[in-house]
Amino acid sequence: MSTTTASLSGTKTVKKDSVAEIIAASMVGTAIEFYDNYCYSIAAASYFGTIFFTTVAKSNPALATLMSFVTFAVSFLARPFGSMLFGHFGDKMGRKKTLVIALLTMGISTFVVGLLPGYEQIGAWAVVILCLCRACQGVGLAGEWSGAALVATENAPDDKRALYGSFPNLGAPIGFFCAYGINLLLTTHLSKAQMIAYGWRIPFLLSAVLVIVGLYVRARMSETPVFRKAAEEKRIVRHPLRSLVPYWKQVVLGTLAMGITYTLFYTLGTWSLSYGVSGLGFKQSEYLAMQMVSVFFFAAFIIVGCLWADKAGRKKVLIATTAVTAIFSFFAPALLQHNVASIMVFLCLGFVLMGGLFGPSGAYLPELFPTNVRYSGAGLSYNLAAIFGGAFAPSLATWLVEKYGIMSVGWYLAVMSVIALIALFLIKESKDMDYTR
Alpha-carbon span 146 to 125, nearest angstrom: 33
Residue type, 281: G
Question: Which of residues 132 and 161 earns the better pLDDT score?
Answer: 132
Alpha-carbon span 358 to 171, nearest angstrom: 11
Q: Is 46 exposed, middle or buried (0-12, 13-18, 19+ CB in 10 A)?
A: buried
Alpha-carbon span 29 to 37, nearest angstrom: 12
pLDDT at 12 over 70: no
14 strand-pairing partners? 6
Alpha-carbon span 81 to 66, nearest angstrom: 25
Residue type, 222: S
Give me the pLDDT at residue 304, please.
95
**Residue pLDDT, tens place only, 160-214:** 888 888 888 888 889 888 998 998 899 989 998 999 999 999 999 998 888 888 8
Give me the pLDDT at residue 430, please.
47
Give percent above pLDDT 70 in the chain.
90
CA dihedral 266, 359, 224, 7 (to 10 degrees): -170
Give percent above pLDDT 90 in the chain.
42
**Residue pLDDT, tens place only, 293-342:** 999 999 999 999 999 999 998 999 999 999 999 999 999 999 999 999 99
Q: Specify whether the CB–CB gap between 117 and 201 falls below 8 A.
A: no
Give me the pLDDT at residue 396, please.
93
Q: Which residues contact 196 (CB under 8 A, 6 or more apart)?
A: 47, 50, 51
DSSP label at 337?
Answer: S
Alpha-carbon span 256 to 233, nearest angstrom: 34
**Residue pLDDT, tens place only, 51-89:** 999 988 888 888 888 888 888 888 888 888 888 887 777
Under the banding of pLDDT at 50, 70 and 90, the label for residue 11 is very low
Under the banding of pLDDT at 50, 70 and 90, the label for residue 226 is low
Instruction: Indicate the helix (H) or strand (E) that contains 9.
Output: strand 3-9
In the chain, count of helices (H) and strands (E)? 21, 2
Under the banding of pLDDT at 50, 70 and 90, the label for residue 16 is low
Under the banding of pLDDT at 50, 70 and 90, the label for residue 4 is very low
**Residue pLDDT, tens place only, 91-107:** 776 677 788 888 888 88
**Residue pLDDT, tens place only, 402-419:** 999 999 999 999 999 999
Alpha-carbon span 282 to 275, nearest angstrom: 9
Q: Pick the closest to residue 75 from 106, 100, 115, 30 (CA basis).
A: 106
Under the banding of pLDDT at 50, 70 and 90, the label for residue 223 is low
Alpha-carbon span 168 to 4, nearest angstrom: 21
Instruction: Enumerate domains of the chain plus CATH numbers.
Output: 17-426 (1.20.1250.20)
The predicted model gives 206-230 an average pLDDT of 77
Alpha-carbon span 114 to 217, nearest angstrom: 24
Instruction: Tell me how far CA of residue 361 lies from CA of 77, 128, 179, in angstroms.
Output: 21, 34, 23
pLDDT at 238 over 90: no
**Residue pLDDT, tens place only, 247-269:** 899 999 999 999 999 999 999 98
17 strand-pairing partners? 3
Question: Which of residues 232 and 114 earns the better pLDDT score?
Answer: 114
The predicted model gives 18-43 an average pLDDT of 81
DSSP structure string for 213-260: HHHHHHHHPPPPHHHHHHHHTT---S-HHHHHGGGHHHHHHHHHHHHH
> How many CB atoms sit inside 10 A of residue 144's CB?
30
Give me the pLDDT at residue 429, please.
56
Give me the pLDDT at residue 326, please.
97
